[in-house]
């Protein structure tokens, strides 16, 4: 069954792909409209309706005329530069176009096509030139009929130039560098004394021998010591000088640092001219906090061995010893001092083994205990396997994320009677399932009634549906936005195609021709 389009179809300049024109053995005489296309399978011709059918009276039969008639004539003429070179027959012509240019006065084997439609060789001087620059920086343009002259260079490292040629043939040149037997060496010498420095030289010496240039290495006394083995392939030694040690130069005991600082062990205090040793640092940090481990606040047992609060063998404690509670309990059995995991104690008074008391410690509570149903505190969120809630924690901050997971909920074959959702004010409420379904879709008969008007103009019948009147739930407007509504028109159980337009409040449906009320229905689906 064909799909019925009840209004004009606008393809908006898109291609109609893989389409076929209606095939008929004879030209129809009825129901034809202007521009209607058919393919006459008897004559194998494409035809268009040029006279529309009129029912009458009087009756006017539709007339179809063949579209086009093929190529009737084709005429090709020679142009100024192209010869058509037509062969074959009038019914089956063959064309072999070719350039019509003729030979000029130049060589016929090497040619250029010039604008006078002749094959020629241009004059070389008209398109070839070279630009060269002399030693003074001046430019000279040379044509193909000019040439460069090279002369022999002079001087100790001059270049000899030989060659032969003429203006008709390029020069053949041979460049020869004169033989230079001068040799050079790099001997090491003690160098010229410099006050306050030890020195050594590297000399660039020619075969005369003459020192052409030199490099001098100089080291400050009491800092860098320079020594050398002289002569060719000599060695320059660079090392810390004897005297770059200790506050007194030449002692050779401790490394002297910039500004006279030395590494020594000092007793106490601060000395900005000396660097602290390990012994000094250890002495300076005595009395600072030292983490000792975790412990059970109920029994006093220390993680890793020993006991902090119970028994004659409890450990000795020193000022700064730092312990963290791992198991809750009363500190030294005192119910007035309950400790929970995360709390910590610090020794403020030293005590020998078996002699410590609660007063020897400072109590530092985390102020966060385990949470209860009524008391905020430490805790964690978990979910049962059928709660419908998934819980996950961020790796770095301990925050929990809760996700609704319907797949965890128990299955049921019963249809829902209520659903949970939000009203227009953002309040969570329960809604009857009929309300939810009613909001999603509705079927409406196209007939004049409350909320539906009908108008005919220009050969088009238009139904206008006011959504607030035709789409209600429990007598109240469903509040549907028409721009979010999917529209399908049906007639006798078949989907038909009409012109549909939407606004937020009204949907209009247009049909070509006259439509009888009740012939069609509209199916509305809210996808918003």
CATH number for position 496:
2.60.40
* Cβ-contact 247, 255 below 8 angstroms: no
Q: Which residue range is the domain that position 57 belongs to?
A: 1-110
Q: Which of 183-197, 201-215, 268-282, 292-306 has the lowest mean pLDDT?
A: 268-282
pLDDT value of position 524: 95
Q: Is residue 138 part of a domain?
A: no
Residue 357 has pLDDT above 70, yes or no: yes
454 or 140, higher pLDDT: 454
Give 96-154 as a DSSP string: --EE--EE-SS-SSS-EE-TTSEEE---GGGT-EEEEE-TTS-EEEEETT---------
What is the percentage of the chain residues whose pLDDT exceeds 90?
35
Higher pLDDT, 14 or 26: 26
Q: Is residue 82 part of a domain?
A: yes
Asked, for residue 130, whether it belongs to a domain, the answer is no
More confident residue, 326 or 368: 326
Q: What is the pLDDT, as a whole number, of residue 252?
A: 47
Question: Do 311 and 207 sit in the same domain of this protein?
Answer: no
Determine, yes or no, domain membership for 123.
Answer: no
- Per-residue DSSP letters for 347-400? ESS-B-TT---GGGEEEE--S--B--SSS--B------TTSSEEEEE-TTT--E
Most confident listed range (203-212, 226-235, 311-320, 372-381): 311-320
> Per the domain annotation, does 448 fall within a domain?
yes
Q: Decide which of 86, 110, 134 is a domain's last residue.
A: 110
Looking at every residue in the chain, the average pLDDT score rounds to 80
What pLDDT score does 116 carry? 75
Higher pLDDT, 304 or 266: 304
Q: What percent of the chain has pLDDT over 70?
A: 75
Of the candidates 24, 37, 32, the one whose C-alpha atom is nearest the C-alpha of residue 53 is: 32
The answer to whether 247 touches 264, Cβ cutoff 8 Å, is: no
Final residue before a domain boundary, out of 110, 133, 158 = 110
pLDDT in tens, 111-161: 677 777 777 766 655 556 777 776 677 887 776 666 666 665 555 555 555
User: Are 418 and 428 within 8 A, CB to CB?
Assistant: no
User: How does residue 443 score in pLDDT terms, banded at 50, 70 and 90?
Assistant: very high
Question: Looking at the structure, do residues 3 and 106 belong to the same domain, yes or no?
Answer: yes
Last residue of a domain, one of 329, 364, 399: 364
The domain tally of the chain equals 4
| Dist. CA 519–CA 422, nearest whole Å | 39
Within a domain: residue 453? Answer: yes
CA 525 remoteness from chain centre: 39
63 domain residue, yes or no: yes
When pLDDT is cut at 50, 70 and 90, the band that residue 279 belongs to is low
CB atoms near residue 261 (< 10 Å): 15
Residue of 439, 441, 444, 440 lying closest to 489 (CA atoms): 444
Say whether 195 sits in a helix, a strand or coil. coil
State pTM to two decimals: 0.33
Residue 277 inside a domain? The answer is no
């Amino acid at each position: 069954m064909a799909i019925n389009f009840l209004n004009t179809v606008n393809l908006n300049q898109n291609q109609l792909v893989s389409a076929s024109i209606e095939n008929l053995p004879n030209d129809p005489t009825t129901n034809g409209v202007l521009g209607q296309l058919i393919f006459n399978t008897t004559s194998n011709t494409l035809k268009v309706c040029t006279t529309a059918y009129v029912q009458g009276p009087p009756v006017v039969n539709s007339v179809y005329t063949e579209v086009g008639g093929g190529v009737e004539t084709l005429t090709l003429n020679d142009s100024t530069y192209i010869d058509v070179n037509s062969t074959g027959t009038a019914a089956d012509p063959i064309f072999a176009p070719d350039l019509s240019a003729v030979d000029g006065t130049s060589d016929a084997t090497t040619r250029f096509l010039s604008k006078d439609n002749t094959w020629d060789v241009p004059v070389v001087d008209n398109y070839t030139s070279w630009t060269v620059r002399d030693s003074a920086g001046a430019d000279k343009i040379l044509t193909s009929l000019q040439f460069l002259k090279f002369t022999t260079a002079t001087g100790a490292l001059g270049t000899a130039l030989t060659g032969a040629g003429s203006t008709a043939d390029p020069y053949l040149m041979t460049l020869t560098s004169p033989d230079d037997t001068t040799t050079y060496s790099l001997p090491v010498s003690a160098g010229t004394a410099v006050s306050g420095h030890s020195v050594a030289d590297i000399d660039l010496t020619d075969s005369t021998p003459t020192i052409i240039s030199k490099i001098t290495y100089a080291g400050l006394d009491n800092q860098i010591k320079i020594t050398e083995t002289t002569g060719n392939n000599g060695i320059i030694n660079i090392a810390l000088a004897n005297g770059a040690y200790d506050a007194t130069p030449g002692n050779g005991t401790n490394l002297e640092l910039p500004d006279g600082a030395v590494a020594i062990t000092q007793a106490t205090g601060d000395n900005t001219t000396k660097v602290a040793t390990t012994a000094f640092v250890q002495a300076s940090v005595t009395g600072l906090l030292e983490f000792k481990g975790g412990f059970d606040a109920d029994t006093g047992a220390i993680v890793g061995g020993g006991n902090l609060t119970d028994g004659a063998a409890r450990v000795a404690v020193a000022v700064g010893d730092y312990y963290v509670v791992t198991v809750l309990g009363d500190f030294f059995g005192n119910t007035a001092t309950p400790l929970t995991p995360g709390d910590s104690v610090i020794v403020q008074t030293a005590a020998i083994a078996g002699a410590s008391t609660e007063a020897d410690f400072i109590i530092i509570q985390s102020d966060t205990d385990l949470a209860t149903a009524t008391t905020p505190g430490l805790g964690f969120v978990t979910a049962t396997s059928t709660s419908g809630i998934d819980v996950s924690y961020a790796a770095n901050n301990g925050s929990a994320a809760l996700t609704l997971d319907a797949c965890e909920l128990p299955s049921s074959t019963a249809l829902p009677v209520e659903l949970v959702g939000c009203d227009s004010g953002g309040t969570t409420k329960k809604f009857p399932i009929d309300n939810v379904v009613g909001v999603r879709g509705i079927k409406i008969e196209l007939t004049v009634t409350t909320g539906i008007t009908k108008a005919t103009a220009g050969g088009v019948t238009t139904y206008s549906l006011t959504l607030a009147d035709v789409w209600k739930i429990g007598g109240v407007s469903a509040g549907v936005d028409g721009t979010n509504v999917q529209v399908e028109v049906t007639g006798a159980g078949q989907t038909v195609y009409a012109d549909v337009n939407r606004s937020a409040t009204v949907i209009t449906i247009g049909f070509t021709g006259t439509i009888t009320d009740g012939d069609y229905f509209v199916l509305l689906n809210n996808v918003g």
